[in-house]
Amino acid sequence: MEDIEFRSLDLDRINIHEYYEVEYWSKQFDLHPSILTSVVNNSGITSAKALREYLNKYYGESAA
């Protein structure tokens, strides 16, 4: 059963202004919440798919 508390409302976009979305996406990408927030802020990427591709490109397959 999925943990509803950490389920993102939009599974395609990352909203770093909602704590539950930061927690959810941090778990999905295996990143610390502050790292996720920093990457999203610095890259400007809010698409989950695009962020996964960005992380793979710059940090390798194991990063995302």
Distances in Å between the Cα of 62 and the Cα atoms of 3, 8, 30, 31, 47 are 24, 23, 9, 11, 19
d(CA 26, CA 19): 10
How do the domains of the chain map onto residue ranges?
A: 4-63
Over residues 35-53, the mean pLDDT reads: 96
User: Is there a contact between 43 and 64 (Cβ–Cβ < 8 Å)?
Assistant: no
The predicted structure's pLDDT at residue 5: 58
Question: Is pLDDT at 59 greater than 90 in this prediction?
Answer: no
Question: Is pLDDT at 21 greater than 70 in this prediction?
Answer: yes
**CB atoms near residue 21 (< 10 Å):** 19
